[in-house]
Structure 1
Amino acid sequence: MSTEPGPAENTEEPADAVAAGPGEPGADTAVPGAVEPAGEAAQEDAAGASGPVSEAEAELAAQRIERERIERRKAERKGPVEAGGKLSGTAADLLAAVRAVESGERPSAAVLAAPVPESAAGRGSAPGPHRSAAEAAPVRRPRPAPEPTSGVPAGPAPETVLTVRRVLADGGAPEALAPQVAALLGEGAEQALRADPWQLLRVAQVRPEQADGFARALLGAECRADDERRGRALTVRLLEQAATAGHTALELERLTAELGRRGVPDPDAAVQIALAESEALAFEDALEDPGTPAPRADGPAPDAEAAAEEDAERRPVRILVGLERYALAEESLADGLARLVGSVPKQGGSAPEWEEAASAARGGAAELIRAVAGHGLVLHTGGEAALAEPAALLSAAGRLGLRAWTASPGALGRARFAALVERAGGTAVEPVAPVVTVDGLLTGAEGPGRDADGALDLDLLVVSDAPQLDVEAAALLTESLPDGARLVLAGDPAVLWSAGAGRVFADLLAARVCPQIASRVPDPGPLGELVSGIGIGELNQVEAPGKEVVVVPVRDAGEAVHRAVQLVVDSVPRAIGVPAEDTQVITPGHGGAVGTRALNAALKERLNPGPGRFGGFDPGDRVVHSPVPGRVVPGRVERADADGLHLSCADGSVVVPKERVELCVRHGWALTAHQAVGGRWPAVVVVLPGDAAQVLSRPWVYTAFGRAERHLSVVHGVEEALPRAVAEIPARPRTTRLPVLLAPQPAESD
């Protein structure tokens, strides 16, 4: 079978050795006059990345004042290696550098040069929270609630953009980058760029060689490959790419190797300088205990103190380096989860009343209600049909007098769960709808608001689509819950992980620090059978008497686009009875001959033709709005005027300024699987062109196929790559610290 491969950008996941994970499902990375990254960061997607942070991110930034408390509590923990005292060699060198940074000095010792042990698969200790119950339930300090946001960040000041344009022109860089650079670097952007031209690497689509050329134009003979500013900027860039790929930190050995491949003469020094400048943080995590030494054959066993010292020296560690925002978020999340696990939840009803509520429910819903009755943190897993169980919990909690709410990471998931709750008869939380988005809940734009202490004014929070919860959002949620509140994280562990950094749900499932309720309710019909098989690595042929599943083979990219459009516009409405506006197209990436751009252009021509008078958009166009990376809100174009592009979205009316349209608005007839996760449509057309084989995985196929409610058409051009991906390619691993932070800490021997 012949195929027509598209450009390398036709992937949703970066191919970079560090940033090997899901790309950002936001707007296009293309910037006029700039070259999109290839190879090093093949598919960084900069939707909203150049604008100011959201209020949720601003709230996380405000938590940095708690760093002293976090560090103090870390120092109080007991462990086999105390303050690096049992370390030697390169590990001790790095810890000495970290101490120097914390004391305000500039470290002089070289960072690790020897290999760092690989992370162990798990820990041998018994499951449990990493703090005692008494320590895990501190008195909550008052904190102000964040202000609601309009959903569209304000742009940089025009005068700032103008000065940045001048310095970009002086350095030979595209002036079109000025708004992004000004937003990233702030009011003093011009001075910052002239003092450190490699700051241009903060713009995701600028490649290192382009930043080097910019630096040469500004610095002249002073521009050198060993310039510490270059090494520091590349270090931060690699860590940012890793976060885009889902990692909250990188192993030091891996980071220095990547710096070496990018032409940094002294990678260890580059990392050391980044630590000294507080651009990054370093951590030493103990790994799995290698086990008890074998008895000595030449004499008696050593005394207990000597044995403890020897065990501490033998325990392997890994040195991780990460950006401060993710490090603090993971520490804060671990603290918040330990507080929930160790606290006594507010009753809201007597034990007999909880049992009565459980007895009135069926199957997994009864198990879930019983688990929530006595625990502050509960995990619930299952497919689409299993969502009925947390919906039943929500209804029962309302009858028991608890202020119960549900939050979804995205607008698509909110709409889906709200419809489910409505079909189930609603809850006692009236007249306000109990289903909100996570961002709306945190900012106060949706939900119950906050109490006098700054905590969310609720007793029970159910988070649906929990695998989409990244570490920053999860940290904000747990920190915002009042003492005695219950948190239920519910979701399908087989879907794609979050667009943001971390793998919170998977890490918690592996840690086993709280009850886990696995639903036994299967998804019904041929579609349910197909998707369930994919979840266990089997791509089965299913009987589909009602044309629930149709496979359409294609030979090349042009035929794939033609057949996809034909299905949406003609075949599915005629044969299945689902109109085009209720059919969603899903494809692996944005670029290439069969990416979202090509498919959306073809679908627009058939469904809403027009000249694209405002940035390629016309009234009536189906779009998705990404106000910040990782958040996708579906909508339609209403009109355009001097204020910007007016959208009617699931979150209400939104006006996107003209300079932001290219960055955060896409046509929405065709989406990537990451953009579609959380949503369900009556009919779905999944397009798999020949060049998609390299990015397919079991979670991708499971997620894309699982978006269909009544009908699934597969435009199939990848031949044997599809069953091979389902059977052999699991989710790409992510490096996170949460498992170590959640693990119990061994007591120090006397």
Structure 2
Amino acid sequence: MSTEPETTEDAEPGTPGAETAAAGAAEGEGGEAGAGQLSEAEAELRAQQIERERIAQRKAEKKAPIEAGAKLSGKAADLLAAVRAVESGEKPAATVFAEPEPAPRRSAPEPVRRPQPVAAETVTASAAPAPEAVQAVRRVLAEGGAPEALALQAAEALGEGADELLRTDPWQLLRVAGVRPEQADGFARALLGTECGPDDERRGRAVTVWLLDQAALAGHTALEMPALLAALAQRGVPDPDGAVQDTIAEGDALVFQDALEEPGAPAPAPAEEDGADEERPVRVLVGLERYALAEESLADGLARLVNSVPKQDGSAEEWERLAAAAPGSTGELIRAVAGHGLVLHTGGEASLAEPAALLRAARSLGLRAWAATHGPIGRDRFAALLRRSDQAADSPGRTGEAPNADSPVATVSGLLTGLEGPGRAADGALDLDLLVVLDAPQLDVETAALLTESLPDGARLLLAGDPAVLWSVGPGRVFADLLAARICPQVASRLPDPGPLGELVSGVGVGELNQVEAPGKELVIVPVRDAGEAVHRTVQLVVDSVPRAIGVPAEETQVITPGHGGAVGTRALNAALKERLNPGPGRFGGFDPGDRIVHSPVPGRALPGRVVKADAEGLHLSCAGETVVVPKERVEHSVRHGWAMTAHQAVGSRWPAVVVVLPGDAAQALSRPWVYTAFGRADRHLSVVHGVEQALPRAVAEVPAKPRTTRLPVLLAPQLAGE
């Protein structure tokens, strides 16, 4: 199959992979929850909007000085002048986009205040565009020869007056997910005729923003200037420098200069009074404002946690007593959290017992302690682990909650929107003393910024997760950056994942694809020769072999494959599985009651569930025990069949049995994190439909995660040094 990427992590800006990734996102990875109802997606989007507005307002009020700038000359002085011009709202100098010379770093941004609470009842359907606005956009699209099906997305992306904006600047169509520059060019020619051309300033700005959007989809929070200029030239922009200048001058992007530290170099000495300090090399980056401000806000929040004194709930002797009673690395974790505002914890599935023990210990001391997971399956599993821990504990002398109390576990999105968790205090901070965030590698910069800025003063934050799994769908690599920065205590679990599957996955994590003994049929390899055989054997495993030989029914078996498209992508596999497990006419957008689905209310969120019914209101789903109604116009963009899913959709969840499908032409999509994540979703049994031959061990041994360009380490360093 020509595998359609499951995410945009492997797609570089300016490449066909990036375009395919954007199309994949438009096709079903993203989308919002339906209008006309209070939904988790709308609440989260509103929370993010308020956070961005708040940070932007604070940033606009700042006039942060740039240190040691007076002594620069030549291109470095031009760069410094351009940055100052951008911050003051003026157009940057023409020479700013040349290759960077040594220049000073920017001063640390001023800390920002925590966001105010976002009450769920304030989020209404008014965020959806009016029908007449959508109809007006539809007419403009039809006039320009663009698909009218894009009308709702365009109205949402461009906001009020979207139709007029498209008439005056047709390249704004690139703000709609899945639209490529050549398609926007055709739309512009149909509307403007001879008035437009490749050198049109509007096109240069729009393509620049589009490339930065593609970079964000691939996980970057910013792009280095040379990479952005090269990508613009590849897209037929005659004057890449001018296009970037215009984009920054219009406020559609921000430019940054970050000091580079040479590996192994000693820390720079303080500057002398006469300014005799040496110039230091920098890299110049350009990024979208929303991610730049979120990353700066995140750095502020993390610095506040690292440099704060945790609230003294429970004496040092009580914390030490609990730590001494805990075995091995669990005791280390309790000691680290007792004395620090930010702690990192790493480990596999078995290591979850340690955050569970910490949570139970903290609550026994009277702390308001909560855990948050990436998705509802992970939430329910961790809640069950807490209940088992409570039941196994001795009841005498406990001061915490009773074993039958509601488990203090929420999803990250539910916690932030107030739909789950302890809620917010009067000052807008989360009403808790300790927050344990599981699945921490799935935190993108915007979500992580919301979390850290929502914590009250004196609270403790534990970020826990498996660093070997796939990174977040959204931009950033927060957990990996923090692990590399070493700014706070790190506790590595010494609890190995048990059994043959634990041995297999642990080997993959260090780059080795080991042969393991599986006397209980925990692992089965099924070789296949072509795509047709891969589909046939997958269906046979789910419907017959696994239920009969392993005792796991089809509804508890999950299929994972590298992409959505192609002969063995999720679409093809889901069609084949539906035919066997729940055949039907698919009268409502291809869905029938009883169909297994994945609902994506917002990009990067995957909620497994089932179709309950369909009526005039929309498609009624049951996701993690909750009823969700998706309006008809949003079904295509936010609901997929879910017997088969991608590894990114599956991350944070586990199933009794998993069938991983590796068709022959998926070799290019494989990497060590992908294989680790896919194999690690199985609790009891893993079947591998294997058609990639030596590409699998080669991917495990030689293909690590693709690097992401982020600014978090640079932003953290001066703030922590200056506290």
What is the TM-score of this pair, normalised by structure 1? 0.88
Aligned 8 A contact 1:115 1:253 in 2: no
**How far, CA to CA, are the matches of 1:231 and 1:158 in structure 2?**
31
Alpha-carbon offset, residue 155 of structure 1? 3.6
Structure-to-structure mapping, 1:442-457, within 5 angstroms: 442-457=416-431
Aligned 8 A contact 2:501 2:523 in 1: yes
Output the amino acid matched with 1:383. Answer: G
**How far, CA to CA, are the matches of 1:291 and 1:724 in structure 2?**
32
Structure-to-structure mapping, 1:287-326, within 5 angstroms: 287-289=260-262, 309=276, 311=278, 313=279, 315-326=280-291
**How far, CA to CA, are the matches of 1:694 and 1:481 in structure 2?**
41
Corresponding residue of 2:226: 253
**Closer, same or farther in 2 for the Cα pair 1:177/1:746, shift >3 Å?**
closer
Corresponding residue of 2:629: 655
Alpha-carbon offset, residue 10 of structure 1? 5.5
Corresponding residue of 1:413: 378
Per-residue Cα deviation, 1:664-722 (whole angstroms, up to 9, x for no partner):
00111101000000011110000000111001000000000000011100000000000
Corresponding residue of 2:206: 233
**How far, CA to CA, are the matches of 2:17 and 2:320 in structure 1?**
43
Please state if 1:56 is matched with 2:44. yes
Per-residue Cα deviation, 1:585-612 (whole angstroms, up to 9, x for no partner):
0000000100000000000000001010
Which stretch of structure 1 is more off in the superposition, 585-594 or 10-19? 10-19
Please state if 1:17 is matched with 2:3. no
Per-residue Cα deviation, 1:137-191 (whole angstroms, up to 9, x for no partner):
x8x5672334268899964211011111110111111111111111111221101
Per-residue Cα deviation, 1:443-489 (whole angstroms, up to 9, x for no partner):
10011111110100000000001001111000000000000100000
Corresponding residue of 1:382: 347
**How far, CA to CA, are the matches of 2:160 and 2:457 in structure 1?**
40
Structure-to-structure mapping, 1:107-506, within 5 angstroms: 107-114=92-99, 143-147=116-120, 155-289=128-262, 309=276, 311=278, 313=279, 315-425=280-390, 428=401, 431-506=405-480
**Closer, same or farther in 2 for the Cα pair 1:577/1:462, shift >3 Å?**
same
Output the amino acid matched with 2:276. Answer: E
Q: Choose which of 690, 693, 702 in structure 1 pairs with 2:667.
A: 693
Output the amino acid matched with 1:55. Answer: A
Unaligned runs of 5+ in 1: 1-5, 24-36, 124-129, 294-302
Aligned 8 A contact 2:10 2:706 in 1: no
Please state if 1:533 is matched with 2:507. yes
Corresponding residue of 1:28: none
Number of residue equivalences: 699
**How far, CA to CA, are the matches of 1:727 and 1:152 in structure 2?**
49
Alpha-carbon offset, residue 82 of structure 1? 1.5
Corresponding residue of 1:26: none
**Closer, same or farther in 2 for the Cα pair 1:19/1:224, shift >3 Å?**
closer
**How far, CA to CA, are the matches of 2:320 and 2:306 in structure 1?**
21
**Closer, same or farther in 2 for the Cα pair 1:632/1:734, shift >3 Å?**
same
SS at structure 2 position matched to 1:585? strand
Output the amino acid matched with 2:248. Answer: L
SS at structure 2 position matched to 1:532? helix
**How far, CA to CA, are the matches of 1:54 and 1:666 in structure 2?**
20
Alpha-carbon offset, residue 544 of structure 1? 0.5
RMSD: 2.8
Corresponding residue of 2:532: 558
Output the amino acid matched with 1:660. Answer: R
Q: Greater helix percent: which structure?
A: 2
Corresponding residue of 1:665: 639
**How far, CA to CA, are the matches of 2:328 and 2:126 in structure 1?**
45
Corresponding residue of 1:7: 2
Q: Choose which of 504, 511, 517 in structure 2 pairs with 1:543.
A: 517
SS at structure 1 position matched to 2:689? strand
Aligned 8 A contact 1:60 1:476 in 2: yes
Output the amino acid matched with 2:600. Answer: S
Aligned 8 A contact 1:251 1:321 in 2: yes
What is the TM-score of this pair, normalised by structure 2? 0.91
Per-residue Cα deviation, 1:359-403 (whole angstroms, up to 9, x for no partner):
221111111111111111000000100000000000000100000
Corresponding residue of 2:54: 65
Alpha-carbon offset, residue 418 of structure 1? 1.6
Which stretch of structure 1 is more off in the superposition, 10-19 or 179-188? 10-19
Corresponding residue of 2:36: none
**How far, CA to CA, are the matches of 2:557 and 2:416 in structure 1?**
32
Aligned 8 A contact 1:152 1:627 in 2: no
SS at structure 2 position matched to 1:111? helix
Output the amino acid matched with 2:710. Answer: T
**How far, CA to CA, are the matches of 2:236 and 2:666 in structure 1?**
31
Per-residue Cα deviation, 1:201-242 (whole angstroms, up to 9, x for no partner):
011211111100110111111111111110111111111111
Q: Work out the percentage of aligned pairs sharing the same amino acid.
A: 73
Corresponding residue of 1:297: none
**How far, CA to CA, are the matches of 1:98 and 1:206 in structure 2?**
31
**How far, CA to CA, are the matches of 1:606 and 1:152 in structure 2?**
38
Aligned 8 A contact 1:148 1:445 in 2: no
SS at structure 1 position matched to 2:458? coil
**Closer, same or farther in 2 for the Cα pair 1:83/1:216, shift >3 Å?**
farther
Alpha-carbon offset, residue 423 of structure 1? 1.7
Output the amino acid matched with 2:367. Answer: L
Please state if 1:100 is matched with 2:89. no
**How far, CA to CA, are the matches of 1:151 and 1:683 in structure 2?**
40
**How far, CA to CA, are the matches of 1:407 and 1:670 in structure 2?**
26
Corresponding residue of 2:396: none
Output the amino acid matched with 1:438. Answer: V
SS at structure 2 position matched to 1:743? helix
Unaligned runs of 5+ in 2: 34-40, 392-399
**How far, CA to CA, are the matches of 1:292 and 1:11 in structure 2?**
40
Output the amino acid matched with 2:352. Answer: L
Per-residue Cα deviation, 1:91-131 (whole angstroms, up to 9, x for no partner):
4334323322332333352431226799xxxx9xxxxxx98
Alpha-carbon offset, residue 650 of structure 1? 1.1
Please state if 1:574 is matched with 2:548. yes
Aligned 8 A contact 2:54 2:115 in 1: no
Alpha-carbon offset, residue 60 of structure 1? 3.2
Per-residue Cα deviation, 1:281-322 (whole angstroms, up to 9, x for no partner):
1111001058889xxxxxxxxx9667x6352x2x11001111
Aligned 8 A contact 1:625 1:664 in 2: yes
SS at structure 2 position matched to 1:618? coil
Please state if 1:715 is matched with 2:689. yes
**Closer, same or farther in 2 for the Cα pair 1:151/1:655, shift >3 Å?**
farther
**How far, CA to CA, are the matches of 2:318 and 2:17 in structure 1?**
45
Output the amino acid matched with 1:531. Answer: V
Aligned 8 A contact 1:561 1:594 in 2: yes
SS at structure 2 position matched to 1:606? helix
SS at structure 2 position matched to 1:683? strand
Corresponding residue of 1:75: 64
**Closer, same or farther in 2 for the Cα pair 1:534/1:644, shift >3 Å?**
same
Aligned 8 A contact 1:70 1:331 in 2: no
Alpha-carbon offset, residue 416 of structure 1? 2.2
Alpha-carbon offset, residue 15 of structure 1? 5.6
**How far, CA to CA, are the matches of 2:235 and 2:117 in structure 1?**
44
SS at structure 1 position matched to 2:463? strand
Alpha-carbon offset, residue 54 of structure 1? 3.9
SS at structure 2 position matched to 1:425? helix
